[in-house]
Chain A
Amino acid sequence: QSVLTQPPSASGTPGQRATISCSGSSSNIGGNVVNWYQQVPGTAPKLLLYNNNQRPSGVPDRFSGSKSGTSASLAISGLQSEDEADYYCAAWDDSLNVHVFGTGTKVTVL
């Protein structure tokens, strides 16, 4: 089972802001960077944010990230229909010596 906890779902209407939380511990989020991934059903995941809040080339600035203590969050501003996907946080865990993913959050654009 995952050691990073996310809400199972989030939603909003087009143009609204959606936020997703990711809760961990001192051995993972508390001491390491957090990355976020977007996965459209039926396709491979895509790196969305790295080093807590950095966007790879091509990722719109509507996506932003933050980290505080043992928690992190992803914000999507100006929701668009193409943002409907599953989102996962991830971090290295110093105690387990493994990368750990969050439980995943399904974002629905109403």
Chain B
Amino acid sequence: EVQLVESGGGLVQPGGSLRLSCAASGFTFSSYWMHWVRQAPGKGLEWIANINQDGSQKYYVASVKGRFTISRDNAKSTQYLQMNSLRGEDTAIYYCARGGVALGEHWGQGTLVTVSS
């Protein structure tokens, strides 16, 4: 069974940093693109970044480019999202999602990030 488990969310002050992790199991992690998608409270889905199988290709939405960094450790079957210079508008549930036939063939349960003083 495919499982994606996010961790690392929490309350952080504006300008602060957090690192999210997504531990994968039940499939060959190194064979898939991985994504991060977020959802602000009461709002829709926003794709924010993805990374290819060996980490050589990364794409970001404009609003996080230069502040967020996606990475992966295939030996640990884990992907990460390093978030720096956090702003109030980054407050959201952050979902880890796996590629495959499409973005989000499988999703984690999400981790809440709250940016507030």
Chain A residues with a Cβ under 8 A of chain B: 2, 33, 35, 37, 39, 44-47, 50-51, 54, 56, 86, 88, 90, 96-104
Give A35 to B100 CA distance when docked, in angstroms: 12
Closest CB in chain A relative to B11 CB, distance in Å: 20
Is B73's beta carbon under 8 Å from chain A? no
Using CB atoms, name the residue of chain A closest to B6: A44
**Chain A residues with Cβ under 8 A from B75's Cβ?**
none
Chain B residues with a Cβ under 8 A of chain A: 35, 37, 44-47, 50, 59-62, 95, 101-110
**Chain A residues with Cβ under 8 A from B62's Cβ?**
96, 98
Give A104 to B108 CA distance when docked, in angstroms: 20
Closest CB in chain A relative to B64 CB, distance in Å: 10
A100/B110 contact (C-beta < 8 A), A47-B104, A47-B105, A56-B105 known = no
- 22 interchain pairs, CB-CB under 8 A: A35-B103, A35-B104, A39-B45, A44-B95, A44-B107, A44-B108, A44-B110, A45-B107, A46-B107, A50-B105, A51-B101, A56-B101, A86-B44, A90-B45, A98-B47, A98-B62, A99-B47, A100-B47, A101-B46, A101-B47, A102-B44, A103-B44
Residue of B50, B103, B108 ringed by the most chain A CB atoms within 10 A? B103
**Chain A residues with Cβ under 8 A from B104's Cβ?**
35, 37, 45, 47, 90
Contacts beyond the supplied A45-B107, A101-B37: 6 A-B pairs with Cβ under 8 Å: A35-B104, A44-B108, A46-B107, A98-B47, A98-B61, A99-B47
**Chain A residues with Cβ under 8 A from B60's Cβ?**
98
Using CB atoms, name the residue of chain B closest to A90: B103
**Chain A residues with Cβ under 8 A from B59's Cβ?**
97-98
By the criterion CB–CB under 8 Å, are B44 and A47 in contact?
A: no
By the criterion CB–CB under 8 Å, are A99 and B101 in contact?
A: no
**Chain A residues with Cβ under 8 A from B101's Cβ?**
47, 50-51, 54, 56
